[in-house]
Amino acid sequence: MNTLVVGFVIVFMALCVIGCTELKKDLPPTGGTLAVHRSGWTDSTSSNFHGTAIRNANWDMMSCQTCHGSKYDGGIVNVSCRTCHNQSAGPEHCTTCHGSSNNAAPPRDIDGNISTTFRGVGAHQKHLIGGSISDGVACSECHSVPPSVYTPGHVDSPLPAEVPMEGYVATTVSNESTTVDWDSSLAVFTPLPSYSPVSATCSNTYCHGNFKNGNTSFAPVWNDATGTQAACGTCHGDTSRATLAERARPKTAAEGGTHPSSTACSACHGDVVNASLSFVNKSKHINGKLNVFGQERDF
């Protein structure tokens, strides 16, 4: 009799345990109490860090949406990514994996580098923010810019980043003429800008001199941070000459070009520079347009 009762109790308890286990398996994990992730998941110094896991999965974080929600704002586990990734697009925001609060361009680069001597960082901010000689250029001058993280061509290809340089300024065409006459063109400079990830140099860009009377063979090094590559005379003119105006002056007849030999630059380019060759309107310099005699035009 007693044996029978004990037997029933054992069977009942066993059923209960199996049942409860099955029930638990079906339940979504409860936030905070159940460790669904490995230890170190939120510690950026750990090899188990969630950012590293996403990186190792070819940047795929869409699997996280199953539990954390399609907008990463909690989902069935009610644990939001946005408590930490608080920008508008959450963890898919453009500065999650590269860039800073200034913009999405490095620094920092994909590997976390900050110094401009790293090719992933290079002269990005010099180009974007501009300085004394220009207002800078947009990302789209050098890259095709993805509207979202999973746009084809973005995270699906291995480093180095693609730098096709297909923007308006980078590909500006200028015509060569024997006289100062807009229409009598003899040769056409069609920049075919290219970036070499081997030497980290840019060649044939309009911006750096591949235009009429410019220094067509100048190939600046992307991660040379010495600042010498944007001196007067690098893109047009000759850095070895004595005065600033002589250094900046494009090729004249004496050098096989067609530019006037006068060094009174502001007399004809007064919209851009003043008599001491400071820029009065740097937005008109390196903008793909020629500013001369008070006009802005193609050349």
Site for ligand HEC in 230-269 (CB under 6 A): 230, 232, 234-236, 245, 248-250, 259-260, 262-265, 267-269
Rg of the chain over Cα atoms, rounded to whole angstroms, equals 30
Cβ 49 vs Cβ 43: under 8 Å: yes
Residues 114-143 that bind ligand HEC (CB under 6 A): 119-120, 122, 124, 127-128, 133, 137, 139, 141-143
Q: Which 3 state secondary structure label does DSSP give 59?
A: coil
The residue from 71, 74, 103, 216 that contacts ligand HEC (CB under 6 A) is: 103
Interaction between residue 272 and ligand HEC (CB under 6 A)? yes
Interaction between residue 104 and ligand HEC (CB under 6 A)? yes
Interaction between residue 163 and ligand HEC (CB under 6 A)? yes
Closest to ligand HEC by CB, 4 or 272: 272
CB of 190 to ligand HEC, least distance (A): 15
Quick one: which segment of 10-18, 19-27, 160-168, 183-191 binds ligand HEC (CB under 6 A)?
A: 160-168
CB of 136 to ligand HEC, least distance (A): 8
Interaction between residue 148 and ligand HEC (CB under 6 A)? yes
Q: Which 3 state secondary structure label does DSSP give 189?
A: strand
Amino acid, single-letter form, for residue 181 = D
Interaction between residue 225 and ligand HEC (CB under 6 A)? no
Residues 38-57 that bind ligand HEC (CB under 6 A): 41-42, 44, 50-51, 53-55
Report how far apart, in Å, the C-alpha atoms of 296 and of each of 81, 184, 205, 285, 292 are: 50, 19, 21, 11, 7
- Among 92, 89, 125, 87, residue whose Cα is nearest residue 106: 125
CB of 20 to ligand HEC, least distance (A): 19
Specify the residue for token string 């979504």: 28
The residue from 7, 131, 160, 227 that contacts ligand HEC (CB under 6 A) is: 160
Give the x-and-dash track for 11-40 against ligand HEC (CB under 6 A): ------------------x-xx-xxxx---
Residue 189 has a CB neighbour count (10 Å cut-off) of 20
Q: Which 3 state secondary structure label does DSSP give 259?
A: strand
Q: DSSP character for 115?
A: S
CA dist., res. 204 & res. 147, Å (int): 28
Peptide bond into 108 cis (omega under 30): yes
